[in-house]
Structure 1
Amino acid sequence: MAGVNDQRDDRALRADCGSCFGLCCVALPFSASADFAVDKDAGKPCSNLQTDFRCGIHTRLRQSGFPGCTVYDCFGAGQKVSQVTFGGTDWRQAPEAASQMFAVFPVVRQLHELLVYLTEALSLHPARALHAELRRLLEETERLTGLGPDALEKLDVATHRQDVNVLLLRTSELVRAEAAGKMKDRRKKDRKKDRRGADLVGARLRGADLRGADLRGAYLIAADLTGADLRLADLIGADLRDANLTGADLTGSIFLTQPQLNAAKGDLSTRLSLGLTRPAHWS
């Protein structure tokens, strides 16, 4: 699709577990389920976390009953909080700071996720009229990630997220409108392709033409998207857990993240944009 830049490589927004103090393995809670083998409370270290902050079963998480860990991505927030916000002092060295570190981590994670979306939006040529506003919000979001622990703990990240979302919506509309060609044709197609927030759990969408579709926040859990055309579809927040993407074309899809792919199923025939990695568990 013309006018779309598939280059999305920002290392600062990718998890660097070697520079993190295992924050996701401590700060976040999880319950025994298909995703996790045991219960764990927030603030309690996972039993698999080693003294060097590495996972003792990292290479066999799925086989050990922890597929949820393979899906999660902090978008680089872990190393930011560990090395910048708390200056390289870990929660074991400074137990008095542990609770605040664990509270700040999810906040910075949300901000980093927004940075991922804003960075991608700035690469989309059809949204060039919004680039100045997008850049302003990107810079403001980056500034917020640099706040101190006290300020981050009090930050109203939900309000900031709403401000960013308004602009991401406008970006999506511009990109998908250009993909559809003429605006009159676009309005006709929108009636069929507006699936925002739709309940598509287990839906049979094999070979579906979903080019330019609005699938923001759609529930696509275990949906059959085999061979579906998802080029330039807006997939922000779409739940793709166990969705079958075998042979699907996701090149140029917008606001699709690595965690969403990690939660889905696919194979070597699934087409992805540059910057996204084919999950190791895909056949």
Structure 2
Amino acid sequence: MSGNSEAGAPLPTRPPPDPGAVPSGGPAALRADCERCFGLCCVVPAFSASSDFALDKPAGQACRNLQPDFRCGIHRNLRERGFAGCTVFDCFGAGQQVSQVTFGGRDWRTSPEIAARMFEVFPVMRQLHELLWYLTEALALRPADPLPAELAAARDETERLNGADPETLVRLDVATHRRDVNALLLRASESVRSRAGLSGNDHRGADLVGADLRRTDLTGANLRGAYLIGADLRGVDLTMADLTGADLRGANLRGADLRGSIFLTQAQVDAARGDVTTGLAPALRHPAHWQLSIAPTRRPAGKPTRKPRRR
């Protein structure tokens, strides 16, 4: 069965969001604000020279492109300079939270005594902010009772942890908290897909690397954690497909409809390939590196324009 929508057939859509819920994309606090961060994503992670990074960098060492003002010196040309991996990283706002709230605006350069602890806190905070993003999205989907109350309680607890001091954060068993939240998110996904009559095929964790999925029905599919690296998804309808943690690096999304996909993050979109015909939810943007215009058809060279005959 084809994953493309038949002409003229009404597309199944997500349920309308709760008027009091934050729409997909999350509030400003869950979006990276590099102006208020001390370049933590350029220091804390380690990376190796590869197609994503042009050099090796150990954890806790500043990237050579990080400037004294904590800005990236090659931000406008990251992909051209071999740092595509930087363009798809999303801290979900953890950077400014750690910089401005957890450590009260003190930075690791002028206060080197806090550097080690700040670098320990950042990955924990990033996980908490990622969970807050998913919980916010789940509430906006309006799953069946009793899930809204359970999701709200989980969000409140995650927000409480988000405001903890550095010592509490580094001692936090974030893996256990993440496991508990993920169980709720899975139930929410199953609830909304079932209610929409779109409990599609289960491809959870499937190896679909390089697969041609253009004729596969993926509406309402469970693609949580699926490996879709380089997969051909051109023209595929992904309405109500659960894309939690799906690896979309290099996946071809040209003409695909992801307007109603659930748990799709900007980082996943940034890692894929698409164009102006790729349908995205309003809260998600088409990345700058996508082909965002359709070139007009050129007339073959050497063939003059035919003049209309006179009648």
TM-score by structure 1 length? 0.94
Counterpart Cα distance in 2 of 1:246 and 1:180: 26
User: SS where residue 125 of structure 2 aligns?
Assistant: helix
Say if 1:127 and 1:174, in contact at 8 Å, map to a contact too: yes
Q: Deviations over 1:131-178 (max 9, x none)?
A: 111000001000101110111011100000011011001001011112
Query: Structure 2: 5+ residue runs without aligned partners?
Result: 1-12, 292-311
Counterpart Cα distance in 1 of 2:14 and 2:96: 36
TM-aligned CA deviation for residue 206 of structure 1: 1.4
1:140 is matched with which residue? 157
1:250 is matched with which residue? 258
1:179-194 residue pairs with structure 2 within 5 A?
179-180=196-197, 186=199, 190=200, 193-194=201-202
Q: Deviations over 1:187-238 (max 9, x none)?
A: xxx5xx1000000000001143211000000000000000011010000010
Counterpart Cα distance in 2 of 1:265 and 1:178: 31
Say if 1:222 and 1:240, in contact at 8 Å, map to a contact too: yes
Amino acid at match of 2:277: S
Q: CA RMSD in A?
A: 1.2
Say if 1:207 and 1:226, in contact at 8 Å, map to a contact too: no
Larger Rg, first or second structure (1 or 2): 2
1:3-22 residue pairs with structure 2 within 5 A?
3-5=15-17, 7-8=23-24, 9-22=26-39
Stretches of 4+ aligned residues off by more than 4 angstroms: none
Q: Residues 69 and 2 (structure 1 numbering): CA distance in 2 closer, same or farther, change over 3 Å?
A: closer
1:1-283 residue pairs with structure 2 within 5 A?
1-5=13-17, 7-8=23-24, 9-180=26-197, 186=199, 190=200, 193-283=201-291
Amino acid at match of 1:36: F
Counterpart Cα distance in 2 of 1:151 and 1:61: 35
Q: Residues 2 and 261 (structure 1 numbering): CA distance in 2 closer, same or farther, change over 3 Å?
A: closer
Say if 1:221 and 1:239, in contact at 8 Å, map to a contact too: yes
User: SS where residue 224 of structure 2 aligns?
Assistant: coil
Counterpart Cα distance in 1 of 2:16 and 2:194: 13
TM-aligned CA deviation for residue 128 of structure 1: 5.0
Q: Residues 276 and 2 (structure 1 numbering): CA distance in 2 closer, same or farther, change over 3 Å?
A: closer
Aligned-pair identity in percent equals 65
Say if 1:26 and 1:46, in contact at 8 Å, map to a contact too: yes
Report the count of equivalent residues: 274
